[in-house]
Amino acid sequence: MAASSSATRAAFIKPSSFISSTTTNNNKSSLPVSRSILPVSYTRQNPSLHITNSVPKPFATSASTTTPTPTTTIPLTKLPPRFSPDEPRKGADILVEALEREGVTDVFAYPGGASMEIHQALTRSNIIRNVLPRHEQGGVFAAEGYARSSGKPGVCIATSGPGATNLVSGLADALLDSVPVVAITGQVPRRMIGTDAFQETPIVEVTRSITKHNYLVLDVDDIPRIVSEAFFLATSGRPGPVLIDLPKDIQQQLAVPNWNQQIRLPGYTSRLPKDPNEELLEQIVRLVSESQKPVLYVGGGCLNSSEELRRFVELTGIPVASTLMGLGSYPSSDKLSLQMLGMHGTVYANYAVDKSDLLLAFGVRFDDRVTGKLEAFAGRAKIVHIDIDSAEIGKNKQPHLSVCGDVKLALKGINKLLESKAGSVKFDFSVWREELDEQKAKYPLSFKTFEEAIPPQYAIQVLDELTDGNAIISTGVGQHQMWAAQFYKYKRPRQWLTSGGLGAMGFGLPAAIGAAVANPGAVVVDIDGDGSFMMNVQELATIKVENLPIKIMLLNNQHLGMVVQWEDRFYKANRAHTYLGDPSRESEIFPNMLKFAEACGIPAARVTRKEDLRAAIQTMLDTPGPYLLDVIVPHQEHVLPMIPSGGAFKDVITEGDGRRKY
């Protein structure tokens, strides 16, 4: 489920203060501790001893997960005793131990002057592995890929100033797509804050509107509580990013941590959604029984309730249309799947919504790329909206019946009611399904040929066949992203990683890193475009050094393809800086993507003819470790179907490409 606009951001419940209190804390350590910044000698533990955190704190994993009961004390787990209980240690070491206590095993951290102490402390941890990105944006996108593919919160760390500001796009992306991320930034010492010190930026102020919450730590004794609160906030309710800004003098300060502090979020916890009202669920069942043309419209809020969704469809026989963010929550190849709806959704998914008399909107936000012209969207239907964020209910489209709560719990409740009424309530939507099957037969997803050139859709179809639809797929943003959504058949949640709400180019490669770290042994493929790929191409170095078996299938058309498509359709094909090659050598592929891979010691190949494609993709998949396949595709191809921005279903475009004029 993606997020609302900044105008409605107030609906994200904020704790009482965005800066940790500097007043006396009743939970402070009772032991006398020197507050001076002193050099401390550490004895590093035996590096050959591998210790895993066997009792991690359970995580909520998506907007559809059950809201966890607020933890009143910071969880104690069996950790290696780097320090005796009453031994003072640096704030940075307290931070790292707090992360360990939250079950963190991997972070994506890039060091700098204001975060060096944190990195030194990380070297003293036998639990947390740092995967070193080559750019802070790569680090935060990798943390997102980790979170999106695993359901656990991703953690990234950056230094102050430019390091912190390089996280901004990733934080905005995580907020819009409801991804649990905890970002930690170094900050200049407290005495220098506000003096325009070297590498100082007020990152709390910068990120206030693009995080679910953020903290500036002003007391070393607050670190255990703040870390616990940050993870609770990131994973509870509607997930999102939380930032912790930690001044360098706090990192260096000595203290004895008190792990028994209470979290202090009374306003937030009191307003978390309660269990769904059974009377409302009864009304939903009644509306379903009265309808003749119902359709499910499911989004990212359903990713963690896939089992319940499948059971609901099994009990009712209602067809399922998915948003871009909801792909995988219901199997794409199932006979009741209508695949994706919206601007580049299937004709039959958009037809179903347009003709439906009941729209069951679960874990969605009625985004403009789905609805087009709001007045015409589902104009014949009664609308039922279930969402965990009250701000989304009625924000864009007024529902006839709404439930503010966890989709997983709501579906469990509805399924229980349906099962109890199995003998008395029968659903028969066979006529409606036959009508939709006719649309599927009339308007299947298809593509044209370009002589010997490789249709990009065909490349994704072949990848789907050779991986049996089981790979974890990440993408950049643009045409390749839409084709990957259309032509790869996702079987399960968290297989599909893409920047939906923000549309951040450069997301695919680092997100694949996060997915590979979180899912060792899985097949991870970054389907990317040449424009998006070059925005974070430096992360090839991380992939090589970490020996991550990531496959990169680059659909290279030498252009910003989606912008070119709009130029073709709406600007008389006038090219306005959308050609990414070398104008003086248009017959050559520029830049040579194989050289990027070669520079990082990654095997690579280029394929230009359709007849050679299958073997090239098989070689990519069979090669151990990372691999880059540069697939040259025609820039004239368009993503179809297409409903123009602000249009309605009647405006859908199903024919044409860049070889003709409009």
Biggest distance spanned by C-alpha atoms of the chain: 79
State the DSSP code for 577. Answer: S
Give burial (CB, 10 Å; 0-12/13-18/19+) of 451. exposed
Q: For 588, left (φ over 0), alpha (ψ -120 to 50), or beta?
A: beta
Q: Is 479 a catalytic residue?
A: no
Question: Distances in Å between the alpha carbon of 410 and those of 6, 63, 108, 362, 439?
Answer: 27, 13, 35, 10, 31
String of DSSP letters for 156-196 = EEE-STHHHHTTHHHHHHHHHTT--EEEEEEE--GGGTTTT
Q: Which residues pair with 510 in a beta bridge?
A: none
Q: Is 261 a catalytic residue?
A: no
Cβ atoms of residues 343 and 315 within 8 Å: no
Catalytic residue among 562, 593, 620, 642: 562
- Please state whether beta strands 294-298 and 358-362 pair in parallel, antiparallel, or not at all (unpaired): parallel
Q: Is 199 a catalytic residue?
A: yes
- Please state whether beta strands 89-90 and 254-255 pair in parallel, antiparallel, or not at all (unpaired): antiparallel
Cβ atoms of residues 317 and 483 within 8 Å: no
Q: Which residues pair with 496 in a beta bridge?
A: 473
- b or e along 264-281 (b: 16 or more beta carbons within 10 Å of the residue's beta carbon)? bbeebbeebbeebeeebb
- CA dist 338 and 297 (Å) reads 10
Q: For 628, left (φ over 0), alpha (ψ -120 to 50), or beta?
A: beta
The tokens of 623 are what?
């090669």
Catalytic residue among 212, 248, 397, 489: 248
Task: Return the closest-CA partner of residue 539 out of 631, 471, 628, 467.
Answer: 628
Q: Is 252 a catalytic residue?
A: no
**298: Cβ–Cβ under 8 A, 6 or more apart, which residues?**
309, 320, 321, 322, 323, 326, 329, 330, 362, 363, 364
Q: Which residues pair with 130 in a beta bridge?
A: 107
**Position 347, amino acid:** V
Task: Return the closest-CA partner of residue 128 out of 244, 185, 45.
Answer: 45
Catalytic residue among 199, 262, 283, 538: 199
- CA dist 524 and 158 (Å) reads 26
Cβ atoms of residues 38 and 254 within 8 Å: yes
Q: Is 590 a catalytic residue?
A: no
Catalytic residue among 100, 136, 229, 392: 136
Task: Return the closest-CA partner of residue 325 out of 292, 352, 297.
Answer: 297
- CA dist 170 and 153 (Å) reads 14
- CA dist 407 and 329 (Å) reads 12
Catalytic residue among 87, 198, 314, 618: 198
Residues with catalytic function: 136, 198-199, 248, 562
